[in-house]
Amino acid sequence: MEPTRAAAVRILAAVLIALALFMGLWNLGGWLMNDDEGTYLYDAWRVSLGELPYRDFFLSQTPLGIFLGAAAFKALGPTVGAARALSLAFILASAVLIGLAARRFFGLSPVISLLAAAAFLFTKHVYFLGRTFMPDIPMVFFSTAALFYGLKAEAAVPGRKAAGPAFLFGIMAGLAALAKLNAALLLPGYGLFVFYSAARRFDRLSAVLRKAALAAAGFVISCGLPFGLMLATIPGAYAGTIGFHLAKETAAEPLFSLVFARLGTFIGNHNYGLIPIAVAGMILARALKDRRRALVAALLLAAIVPVFLPGTFYLRYIVFAFVPLALFFGDGLRAFFAAGKMRPALLVLSAALMALTLAPSFSLSRLRAFDTGTRDLAAYVVANTAPGDIVFGDDPGINFLARRACPPGLVDVSGEMTRSGQITAAMIREECERTGVKLILVETEGPAHHLKNLRDYETFEAYLRESFTLATTARREFLGVEIWRRK
């Protein structure tokens, strides 16, 4: 590479890193209106105090991300900023791996490799999710590491040099599944690639089977054995992982129509630049004729499987899909740069679409957002309870901020739990009476969707009136909250 071009690449890399750090850290703890994150912050805090998920409190995910958050709390203190900084580090590391994979294994230029990493990093769903403490974030990092090692295994052929990377693919995929269970789809995704690789004769059958066995062994070591041990020895582990997902309420609409609606949301929700360019890259690079790109395509297919499953669906369930899409986005850019007379038009169109795609991540109003309602509510709880008191409500994030324990069996009262009947008014009554709950915080206005979705909400209201007094009401930005004090 020419010295001038090399210097330009280094400057671009430095600018992107500085921008990512600035946008990631600026006002990192400002906006607290995320009840899912509040649950995981509470979980990590309780683990940092020595409690064990499933046994000592209900957790509806596999536990690796919670343990990592607890470690951050031990090192830096139990703050929102510490947990979110950990997430930001995972997302930045994932972007670095994408840039390295684009350069080393896809053969893209340094500039296009950097642009592929930036497209991943600053796309709306990755950027805003990366500024929260969610198990999806370590899942994305370990899944990206798995993809990286899978590509390294394909680049190492022929010879035994593929053995180590294939094994590490399994290790990383297993760690991803220990962070969030749906990452287990990486293993059948790799199996699909192995089958395709054998059918296309990318490699000798014996070599293909060896890589498959090594990947499976790595997965069993990092996930299968610890997860199996957890299920066998920790009370409540099955109910909080496999049982919870099997008991989710399925959607009333036909799955066929749901799939098209979900795909439309995926593309239309500020991904109308990244996805079309990535699809063009897959086609123009002939992805299925190249072993490395075929692997990435197989893992992309595995990542979007939740789109086709019944039950509740959120875009974060398929957030790992942005990793293979970013690599194919790089292929699309390379093809457009080499498009001859069509090059100016394609590049202008791509720039316009990506500007629309990335615009939400650079919204100053969202970056500056700071909610006082959540902080005021937490301050009220602190002022009106003793440190040892038990407090229950829709969002355990209030418990985390106020440093008040939640009834162990009611840590997760998400909409999925209440809609599916896994949490009922009778269960709430029993647990609140057993633990002597002092305050109950009930979200009643705005987009309240947890306790409000109890199948027997009227019975819950009757319990409140019977055993508690409405002390006051509060506002958490767009949410109204009733505060009930025990009589």
pLDDT in tens, the chain (487 residues): 567 778 888 898 899 999 999 999 999 999 999 889 999 999 999 999 999 999 999 998 999 999 999 999 999 999 999 999 999 999 999 999 999 999 999 999 999 999 999 999 999 999 999 999 999 999 999 999 999 999 999 998 655 688 899 999 999 999 999 999 999 999 999 999 999 998 988 888 888 889 999 999 999 999 999 999 999 999 999 988 888 877 775 545 566 778 888 888 888 888 989 999 999 999 999 989 999 999 999 999 999 999 988 877 889 999 999 999 999 999 999 999 999 899 999 999 999 999 999 999 998 888 899 999 999 999 999 999 999 999 999 999 999 999 999 999 999 998 888 888 889 999 999 999 999 999 999 998 877 778 999 999 999 999 999 999 999 999 998 899 999 999 9
Give yes or no: residues 210 and 87 share one domain: yes
- From residue 13, alpha-carbon distances to 219, 254, 270, 443 in Å are 34, 46, 24, 45
Give yes or no: residues 106 and 247 share one domain: yes
| Structural domain ending residue among the three candidates 365, 386, 412 | 365
Q: What is the spatial distance between Cα 196 and Cα 283, in angstroms, rounded to a whole number?
A: 17
Q: Which amino acid is at 444?
A: T
Give yes or no: residues 386 and 289 share one domain: no
| Structural domain ending residue among the three candidates 332, 365, 398 | 365
Look at residue 140 and tell me if it is in a domain.
Answer: yes
Give yes or no: residues 331 and 352 share one domain: yes
The alpha carbon dihedral of 369, 391, 431, 49 has a sign of positive
Look at residue 45 and tell me if it is in a domain.
Answer: no
Q: What is the spatial distance between Cα 178 and Cα 226, in angstroms, rounded to a whole number?
A: 9
The residue count for the chain:
487
Give yes or no: residues 169 and 296 share one domain: yes
Q: Which domain holds residue 198?
A: 3-30+61-365
Give the DSSP H/E element, type plus range, for residue 479: strand 479-486
Give yes or no: residues 343 and 450 share one domain: no
Give yes or no: residues 15 and 152 share one domain: yes
Give yes or no: residues 418 and 360 share one domain: no
Look at residue 476 and tell me if it is in a domain.
Answer: yes
Q: Which amino acid is at 336?
A: F
Q: Are 255 and 308 in contact (CB under 8 A)?
A: yes
Q: Buried b / exposed e across 209-228, counting CB within 10 Å, b at 16+?
A: ebbbebbbbbbbebbbebbe
Instruction: List CB contacts of 22: < 8 A, sequence separation 6 or more.
Output: none
Q: Are 152 and 214 in contact (CB under 8 A)?
A: no
Give yes or no: residues 80 and 161 share one domain: yes
What is the total count of domains within the chain?
Answer: 2
Give yes or no: residues 180 and 132 share one domain: yes
Give yes or no: residues 354 and 454 share one domain: no
CA 444 to chain centre: 28
Give yes or no: residues 383 and 436 share one domain: yes
Would you give the DSSP letter of residue 390? B
Instruction: List CB contacts of 475: < 8 A, sequence separation 6 or more.
Output: 373, 481
| Structural domain ending residue among the three candidates 365, 397, 425 | 365
